[in-house]
Amino acid sequence: MEKKEPSVRKAALIWRFLKGSKAMFVMSMLMAAVAALADMITPQIIRAAVDNAIGGNEPTFGPAVMKLVNSVGGFAYLGQHLWIMALAVLAVAVVKVLSQYGFLVFNTRASETLAKTMRDTLYTHIERLPFSWHMKNHTGDIIQRCTSDIDTTRNFVAGQMTNLFRILILVVLSMIFMFSMNGLLALIALIPMPLIVLYSFSFHNKIGSGFKECDEAEGRLSAMAQENLTGVRVVRAFGRERYERDRFEKHNEEYTGLWVRLAKVMSRFWSTSDVLSGVQIMLVVVFGVVFCLRGEMTPGEYIAFISYNSLLVWPIRQLGRMISDMSKAGVAVDRIGYIIESEIEKDCENALTPDMTGDIAFEHVNFAYDGCPQMLHDITFTMKAGTTLGILGGTGSGKSTLMLLLDRLYDLPADSGRITIGGVDVASISREHLRKNIGIVLQEPFLFSRTLKENLSITDEKLTLTDIREAARAACLDETIEGFTKGYETFVGERGVTLSGGQKQRAAIARMLTQHTPIMIFDDSLSAVDAETDAKIRKALEKRFGSASIILISHRITTLSKADQIIVLDRGRIAEMGTPQELQKAGGLYQRIYEIQSLSAEEVDA
């Protein structure tokens, strides 16, 4: 597929976000156009009052205007009743006020609708991005793209793009009226304009690159703040407040310095633009007076010319602001586009929804994370349906990776083996169906800032308190929750910070058990509970879910002692495989770990 030019790609992305707000933006531009036309009419009324109604000069207006003037008695009559012309100015002013009010109403509604559409689109897209994408991108930076960058884009579209139509009308009509009154003075007024425009465009890239640096620095600062606030207990536990504060201040100083540098660029831009605009106004005023003294312009024309010139200078100066905001918006849209253009998880064509109660088989599976050495090497085993599989191995041996591949949080590359459930390749199974039938408790349990009841029922909103308590009892958590003052309505802090490590693990287990899935994975999820609670949970699972296929990943031999089969991983390879009894007598890695853990228990007893 042909790659689009950056400007075309940005425009297409903004057009996509405008869904639902286009009509309101069109209405706001029409209101802006009416206000611009009102600005054009007022100087002509003043000119007519000075030159024709008061000065008695021969009118040079078109037939339509003369017909209107004659209908109220002509310029002689208007000269004796100037209040009529004052009333006309007031009527035009009322039209302008009403049109500006309509512009603000439509523009504000369109602006907020645009921001809402962008937020909804980004959030929906981010939820569907692969697990690997989230591992490569900082949460703080993603949040900054979804907040600050959206505001920057929204402000440009609502504040500058909608004014473009009004600016075009002001420039075109101002020049028409100015040339009709005095062509030479109009040319003099135009002399500085190309310089202002070229000067504005020369700063476009400088402003854009400066804002990009500031935006990226803000993303890093947001990521650091988010990380430190989340891990505040660790920072305090190790007395690292000063270190983290100094680290934050260093990045904050860098961020501030970038904005100061950009402000200097903007100051040079605006000050030079103001000087050029001032020179243009001075030329018009001086030469206009000269032409009036020579009789080449009437006083009314001079007053109207000055009014049109002021209307002309504002859009030209506004062009500088538009270019500045365009540079910022271009960077913001690029950063938003990075998220939108990231490939979401997709099922293969005609994805299957098979029965998930069959055998689980890994066939010659090899896998490596992006940019990392190979993690898994020729993993081959079969787990019979309804049995319990234990996986034992050292840190980094690939235990969790096996489960991430089974649940398709990472996809297995082509020619890297295959994983099947009931003989069906998981790559051909619908992700939604697969994950609904695989309950997984991850190594690091995550709880949301909600009540315990809401956290445990997150898998299904229709769950009753009875269902939740049944799952909590199986996880040996019900008695603990009942001991809380508010019971299941107890509010859990961010990431479950108000609970102990064991309580968080048991809450995560209870949450998974509410699914009643045919496949259950416990990824070292009993490491923070004591041995007695560990045994109770395993006994409850065996009693309640005897027909489910259960995968236990653990460093604790006692946790795996009741498994039907155990796989011992060593550096991404299967070192041993068999029943607990077979491995205990095999004289391999499992036996050594068993002896070490048994020895530790004897020493504790002694």
Angle at Cα 309 formed by Cα 307 and Cα 310, nearest 5°? 65
C-beta of residue 564 within 8 angstroms of C-beta of residue 550 = no
SS3 content of the chain, % helix, strand, coil (to 5): 65, 10, 25
Helix axes 139-156, 204-230, angle to 10 degrees: 140
C-beta of residue 320 within 8 angstroms of C-beta of residue 140 = no
**Is the confidence at residue 40, as pLDDT, over 90?**
no
Q: Give me the chain's average pLDDT, please.
A: 83
Nearest to 430 by CA among 460, 412, 407, 404: 407
Please indicate, yes or no, whether the overall pTM of this predicted structure exceeds 0.85.
no
CATH number for 8-340 (one of 1.10.10.10, 3.40.50.720, 1.20.1560.10, 3.40.50.2020): it is: 1.20.1560.10
Across 92-96, 538-542, 543-547, which has the greatest mean pLDDT? 92-96
Q: Where are the domains of the chain?
A: 8-340, 360-580
- What pLDDT is stored for residue 383 in this prediction? 94
- What pLDDT is stored for residue 1 in this prediction? 39
- What pLDDT is stored for residue 485 in this prediction? 85
Coil, strand or helix at 454: helix
- In DSSP terms, 440 is beta-bridged to 521
146: burial class by Cβ within 10 Å (0-12, 13-18, 19+)?
Answer: middle
Across 46-50, 258-262, 433-437, 554-558, which has the greatest mean pLDDT? 433-437
Q: pLDDT for 320-340, tens place per residue?
A: 667 767 777 888 888 899 999
Q: pLDDT for 293-307, tens place per residue?
A: 888 888 888 888 888
Nearest to 113 by CA among 143, 166, 163, 150: 150
Lowest mean pLDDT among 173-187, 206-220, 293-307, 393-407: 206-220
Tokens representing 17 are: 């976000």
Start-to-end CA span in the chain (Å): 72
Q: What is the number of residues in the chain? A: 606
C-beta of residue 374 within 8 angstroms of C-beta of residue 367 = yes
- Give the residue-averaged pLDDT of 219-240: 75
d(CA 346, CA 130): 9
**Is the confidence at residue 128, as pLDDT, over 70?**
yes
Going from the C-alpha of 283 to that of each of 176, 280, 390, the distances in angstroms are 19, 5, 88
CATH 3.40.50.300, applies to 360-580: yes
C-beta of residue 177 within 8 angstroms of C-beta of residue 41 = no
Coil, strand or helix at 554: coil
Bigger pLDDT: 178 or 381?
381
- Give the residue-averaged pLDDT of 37-52: 82
Percent of the chain with pLDDT over 90: 19
C-beta of residue 305 within 8 angstroms of C-beta of residue 283 = no
β strands within 314-437, DSSP E: 360-368, 374-383, 388-393, 418-421, 424-425
- What pLDDT is stored for residue 528 in this prediction? 59
Residue 377 neighbours by CB under 8 Å, 6+ apart: 366, 571, 572, 573
Lowest mean pLDDT among 109-123, 161-175, 355-369: 161-175
C-beta of residue 562 within 8 angstroms of C-beta of residue 533 = no
- Conformational region of residue 73, where left means phi above 0, alpha means psi within -120 to 50, and beta covers everything else: left
Tokens representing 60 are: 């040079």
